[in-house]
Structure formats: C-alpha cells, structure tokens
Amino acid sequence: MAETALQEIYETLGKEGLRKARWQEKMRIWGMLAQIAGMALFALVMVPTGWAAALRDALGGGTTFGALLVVLVLMALQSLFALPLAWYFDYRVERLLGTGRQTLAGWLLDYLKQGLINVVIFGLFFWAVYLVFRAWPTAWLPALVGVVALLVLALYLAQPLMVRAQFKAEPLADEELSARLARLFEKAGFAFGGVGVLRAGEKTSKGNAMLVPRGSRLEVLVFDTLLEEIGPEGLEVVVAHELGHRAHKDWPAMLALFGLLFVVGIALAHAVLAGLTGRWGLSGPGDPATLPVLMLVLNLWMLVAQAAMNAFLRSREYAADRYALELTGNLEAFEHTFVTLARQNLADPEPPQWVESWLHDHPSIARRLEAARRVARSS
C-alpha cells in the first residue's frame, strides 16, 4: 500500500506508464517547436517567392473585401501545410501512447472542423488587424486594442461550441449525483446549469471536465471516461476546483493577460512588416500578403511570452485547489482524483523544472499534492 498519493501515482503508472508519460511530455515540446518551424517554412515558401503577393493581386487584396479573401485563403493554406505535423503530433502520438481511439478518417474530420472554426475566428481577427493598420497607419494602437478585445471575447464565447463540435453531450442520468453537484453550487453561491456528459470515450481514453456558461448559469461538462472512474466525491472536488476559478474571477484576468500579450505580439509584428515594405512585392503592414510573417512573429512571441502567462496561471491553479479543499473538506478525494487523472492522462507527476516553468499552465501533480497537504494541515 502506498504511503502517499504521490507514491500511489508512481505505483499505478508503473514503469511503462511513466515512460509513456515522459515521452508524451517530450513530444509536446517537439510538437510546439515543430509547429513554429512549420510556420517559418510556410512563410519562406509563400513570401520571398512572391507567391503571397501574387495571391493578393489575384484576389484583389487592395480592397476591403479582397483583403478578407486573401487572409482566409492564406489561413486555409497554412492549415493544410500544417496537416502532416498535426497528424504526427496529435493523431500518431496519441495512438502510440494508446490513449487515442479515433480512426484516421474521424481524426481528419475533427481537424477540418476545428480548422474551419479557427480560420473563421482568426481570419476575421487578422482581417480586422489589416483594416486597422490601413485606416490608422501611425495611430493604430487604440483600435488594435479594441479588435483584440473582440477576439478574446469571441474565443471565450466560442469555447462551449468548440467542445460540443468535438464531443456529443448527453444529460447526466444519475439524478443523485446531479443533486449533489447542485448542492455544491449552492454552497459556493453559483447558479447550477446542469451536468452534460461528453461522449469522449469513443475518441480518447483521457479524462477532463470543465464549466461552461449556459445563459446566466454554469453547466458542468464532464468526459464520460472521467465520470466512469472518478466517483461522486472525486467529481465534486473537480467541480469545486473549477468553481474556484470562477469565484476568483480567473477567467477575466486570464483573458486580459492573453489579450495584452497578443497586442504586444501584433505590435512587434507591425514593426517587422514595416521593415519589409517594398520587399517581395509587399506594401507594408496593411498588406494581407504579409500574413504568413505576421503569424510567425506572433507565434514566436507567444512561445516566449508563455512563460509569464503560465506563471500567472499556475498561481491561479493553487488558489483554485485551495478553494476546492475548503469547499469540500475532502483531501482524500482530492488526492484520489490526481491518481485517476495521472493514470488516465499519462501525466508525468514531476516534470523537469524548466519544462514546468516555461510550458505548463498547471503546476506539476507532485507540487499540487504537496500544497494540498499544507492547506489541509493549516485548516
């Protein structure tokens, strides 16, 4: 019998599970670097060759509507260009880990669906950015802030749609469990919007749960894979943690920080695009043919800036954990939940420090368990 939850996690994972967890971690890093490399290659293929400028001329990119067409076509091309990398790091890696259950055709369909939503949301965003750069060649900053604020809002509102586009949801059949969560919501002072069970098991063996706005209420969405294994007390802890994020208003703070970093990234890109004026047929920051460069600069910046964003997010995770422990008073269920999640998601309980600091928006499981013990002792 394991003495601590951390030991129990190592025992449940076993040698093979731990090897897979560490490999998954490595692949996440390589996947991110490969994605950036792919963007750089796309920019190299499209921009210095003059193809982006030729595409702009062919689609009438000088006009307002033409600029939208250029942006949408370039984004669609970029998605197709990135397909082999996504296939490997998304589909193939999950298959090798044994967590992916989708057929290649099913995965491709999802990739196209997600890609379409992305092209629409970010396409409209980049289009608006170009229109702002055209309308205010020097004083573009205030309008840019407004456009980024709209993007952040759209991403937040689209989140439940994205989840539902990926997984079918059914209402929770277990009325007792539903009543239990309703009581938890009441205790925390939130309006309960019901529980939806996402049929994730046909696509993945991994587990997850989230709260999404449903009118003025909050709906619990939980993967069937997690629900099967976690038990009512575990689900209570998970939901209490998510309620903690709401109680602490982490969402608005996170979106504001993300928006701020995005504005800085676009401002950096503006400087680069201004420097490219007259080259390769490009006519300056308002030229939609510069999109591959803009996306590359923005993504490079976000890769670096992630460290700051993630440090903030990790601090919010500790606070939400504390809230969950105080609301439920159930350290045992809290610890057991991490054993289940680590096994289901093949999480390395103690990733290298630099990886956690730079890339993880959640603290490592080992640290969260340690912090939970401290909270339980002090209360």
CB 375 within 8 A of CB 321: yes
**223 exposure class (CB count in 10 Å sphere: 0-12, 13-18, 19+):** buried
Residue 230 or 320 having the CB closest to Zn ion? 320
Specify the stretch interacting with Zn ion by CB under 5 A; choose among 59-67, 133-141, 314-322, 332-340. 314-322
Distance (Å, rounded) from C-alpha 312 to C-alpha 305? 11
Beta bridge partners of 140: none
Residue 203 or 322 having the CB closest to Zn ion? 322
Residue 256 or 274 having the CB closest to Zn ion? 256
Instruction: Give min distance, CB of 317 to Zn ion, in A.
Output: 5
**Per-residue x/- track, 260-299, Zn ion (CB under 5 A):** ----------------------------------------
Specify the stretch interacting with Zn ion by CB under 5 A; choose among 11-19, 76-84, 312-320, 329-337. 312-320
Residue 314 or 336 having the CB closest to Zn ion? 314
Specify the stretch interacting with Zn ion by CB under 5 A; choose among 65-73, 79-87, 99-107, 316-324. 316-324
> Whats the size of the chain, residue-wise?
379
**56 exposure class (CB count in 10 Å sphere: 0-12, 13-18, 19+):** buried
Amino acid letter for position 224: D
Instruction: Give min distance, CB of 320 to Zn ion, in A.
Output: 5
Residue 317 or 356 having the CB closest to Zn ion? 317
Size of the site for Zn ion (CB under 5 A): 2
Task: Determine which helix (DSSP H) or strand (DSSP E) holds 7, and give its type and residue range.
Answer: helix 5-46
Count the Cβ atoms, other than its own, within 10 Å of residue 104. Answer: 11
Distance (Å, rounded) from C-alpha 112 to C-alpha 200? 18
Specify the stretch interacting with Zn ion by CB under 5 A; choose among 102-110, 222-230, 258-266, 318-326. 318-326
Contacts of 359 (CB under 8 A, 6+ apart): 28, 29, 32, 306, 310
Instruction: Give min distance, CB of 158 to Zn ion, in A.
Output: 20
Residue 143 or 162 having the CB closest to Zn ion? 162
Instruction: Give min distance, CB of 361 to Zn ion, in A.
Output: 9
Instruction: Give min distance, CB of 248 to Zn ion, in A.
Output: 10
Residue 291 or 320 having the CB closest to Zn ion? 320
Distance (Å, rounded) from C-alpha 129 to C-alpha 110? 28
Specify the stretch interacting with Zn ion by CB under 5 A; choose among 128-136, 205-213, 310-318, 324-332. 310-318
Residue whose structure tokens are 């504390």: 322
Q: Pick the closest to residue 48 from 287, 282, 298 (CA basis).
A: 282
Question: Which residues contact Zn ion by CB under 5 A?
Answer: 317, 320
